[in-house]
């Protein structure tokens, strides 16, 4: 085979594995987009509170998901070695650690109003944010268990069920949120609490479906995932913890940068924060495409590394990177051509603040076009590095890029230099670009030949 045909075969294999994961991630994001749209129709304060509440939930979730994310490369490597027992051991202990984290973090949700006020948010936004987070926080454990099972099933190349289950969750969430936020079909009108209840129900339902599938499917019964689940495996737990905590901190560093931008946008104004939330939802949808390809790259890299195939590992990595770049250019074009139309989907034209939100949100989407490629390359590099189980150096690179460059740059550009919300987003771009360069260099330097 020619080098071009080999690269094409790797690209096709990555897409075959990655497309259902992309669909799953997009569907997962649609859960949040649905709430954003519905609450945008309901009220500006409610929208702003859920922007803060859901982004705070996500920051804590992404920090705790390091153990769940460690399962994917560990299971992939075990499969590459033909070690079926280790598949079960790693997945179980990933779930154990996820449950422990979910229990320990819940007090942050219960007393979230005090924390939000301390961070400079408006009192009405902080109060509504706590109403949302006290209920949504109960979904942390099922959300982390879902992430663990998704990693397990993806490593086994069972990604179709992940997509269809998440798609079902979107429909269920839409129906429940429409009823409970507005009080439709005889349901009580609960506003932000209704959105939180709908999300919690959906998370529990999704976990139950995936758990049954993982234990029932005949082809997966050889792994005996749920047999004696209560028994600890301290060696496997140490391995998952050792790989997982740097992943959690890396993800926390990135999501923390975006959360810091939301908090600083809240200092500028409620309308600006609402527009920021809409623009973040849109860019996050685009980002999910790259995350899906990155997940597929993690699985394929992990299997190649476990099997000792250095050449296939590097060619597969190049194919995944080119795929991600292609999608990135498409999203840049869309953001530059249709910014106002996209933002307009999220707001009620009858509201008096709508014109301001659309104008500011459109400007932010144009800024978002600047960091599409940098964002794509940093998440691709992370996926590839996790495939070869390299997580500590990327953690350091993330901390430098996001906290020492991204957040300070956002603050300086927004406030001392007077660029406002646009400055915040330009600072995000600088942080992402730095991360992309450092992590890509690390992978190509570290990857086996």
The pLDDT tens digits for 82-128 are 777 788 888 889 999 999 999 999 998 888 888 888 877 778 788 88
Tell me the average pLDDT across 368-375.
Answer: 82
- Residue 352 has a CB neighbour count (10 Å cut-off) of 7
What's the pLDDT tens digit per position in 309-340?
A: 888 888 888 999 999 998 888 888 888 888 88
What is the DSSP secondary-structure string of 10-26? HHHHHHHHHHHHHHHHH
Q: Is the pLDDT of residue 1 over 60?
A: no
For residue 441, what pLDDT is reported? Answer: 94
Over 70: is that where the pLDDT of 3 sits? no
Cβ neighbour number for residue 332 with a 10 Å cutoff: 17
Q: What is the mean pLDDT of residues 31-47?
A: 76
- CA distance linking residue 243 with residue 78, whole number of Å: 14
Share of the chain above pLDDT 90, in %: 18
Q: What are the domain boundaries of the chain?
A: 3-446
Q: Which tens digit of pLDDT belongs to each residue from 175-234?
A: 998 999 898 888 888 888 888 899 899 999 999 999 999 888 788 888 788 877 888 888
The burial class, CB within 10 Å (0-12 / 13-18 / 19+), for 403 is middle
Residue 212: other Cβ atoms inside 10 A = 11
pLDDT of residue 352: 66
Residue 416's Cβ-count burial label (10 Å; 0-12, 13-18, 19+) is: exposed
pLDDT top residue among 381 and 259: 381
CB 140 within 8 A of CB 94: no
More confident residue, 350 or 150: 150
Its pTM surpasses 0.85: no
As a whole number, mean pLDDT of residues 135-153 equals 89
Residue 365 predicted with pLDDT over 90: no
Place of tokens 């299971």: 75
So what's the pLDDT on residue 207? 92
The position carrying tokens 């707001």 is: 347
Residue found by looking up tokens 């530059």 in the block: 336
Least trusted range by pLDDT, from 32-36, 278-282, 392-396? 32-36
Pairwise CA distance, residues 211 & 224, whole Å: 12
Q: What does the pLDDT read at residue 64?
A: 86
Average pLDDT over residues 133-145: 89
Mean per-residue pLDDT for 247-271?
83
Q: Are 319 and 11 in contact (CB under 8 A)?
A: yes
């Amino acid at each position: 085979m020619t080098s071009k045909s080999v690269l094409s075969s790797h690209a096709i294999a990555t897409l075959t594995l990655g497309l259902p994961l992309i669909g799953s991630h997009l569907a997962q994001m649609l859960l949040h987009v649905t709430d954003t749209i519905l609450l945008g129709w309901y009220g500006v304060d409610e929208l702003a509170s859920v922007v803060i509440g859901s982004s705070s939930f996500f920051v804590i979730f992404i920090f705790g998901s390091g153990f769940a994310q460690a399962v994917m490369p560990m299971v992939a490597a075990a499969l590459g070695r033909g070690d079926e027992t280790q598949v079960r051991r790693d997945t179980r202990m990933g779930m154990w650690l996820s449950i422990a984290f979910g229990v320990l973090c819940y007090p942050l949700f219960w007393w979230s109003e005090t924390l939000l006020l301390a961070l400079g948010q408006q009192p009405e936004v902080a109060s509504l944010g706590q109403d949302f987070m006290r209920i949504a926080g109960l979904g942390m454990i099922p959300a982390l268990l879902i992430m663990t099972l998704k990693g397990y099933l993806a490593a086994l190349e069972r990604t179709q069920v992940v997509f269809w289950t998440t798609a079902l969750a979107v429909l269920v969430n839409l129906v429940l949120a429409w009823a409970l936020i507005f009080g439709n079909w005889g349901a009580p009108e609960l506003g932000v609490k209704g959105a939180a209840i709908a999300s919690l129900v959906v998370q529990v339902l999704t976990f139950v479906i995936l758990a049954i599938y993982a234990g029932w499917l005949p082809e997966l019964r050889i792994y005996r995932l749920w047999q004696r689940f209560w028994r600890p495996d301290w060696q496997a737990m140490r391995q998952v913890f050792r790989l997982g905590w740097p992943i959690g901190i890396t993800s926390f560093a990135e999501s923390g940068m975006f959360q810091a931008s939301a908090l600083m946008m809240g200092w500028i104004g409620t309308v600006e924060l609402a527009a920021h939330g809409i623009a973040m939802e849109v860019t996050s949808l685009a980002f999910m495409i790259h995350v899906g390809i990155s997940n597929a790259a993690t699985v394929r890299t992990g299997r190649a590394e476990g099997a000792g195939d250095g050449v296939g590992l590097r060619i597969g990595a190049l194919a995944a990177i080119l795929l991600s770049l292609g999608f990135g250019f498409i999203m840049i074009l869309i953001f530059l051509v249709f910014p106002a139309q996209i933002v307009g989907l999220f707001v009620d034209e009858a509201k008096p603040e709508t014109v301001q939100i659309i104008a500011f949100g459109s400007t932010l989407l144009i800024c978002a076009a600047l960091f599409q490629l940098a964002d794509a390359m940093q998440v691709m590099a992370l996926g590839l590095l996790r495939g070869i189980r390299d997580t500590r150096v990327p953690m350091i690179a993330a901390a430098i890029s996001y906290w020492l460059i991204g957040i300070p740059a956002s603050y300086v550009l927004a406030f001392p230099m007077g660029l406002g919300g646009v400055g915040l987003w330009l600072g995000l771009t600088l942080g992402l670009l730095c991360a992309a360069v450092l992590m890509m260099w690390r992978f190509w330097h570290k990857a086996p030949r």
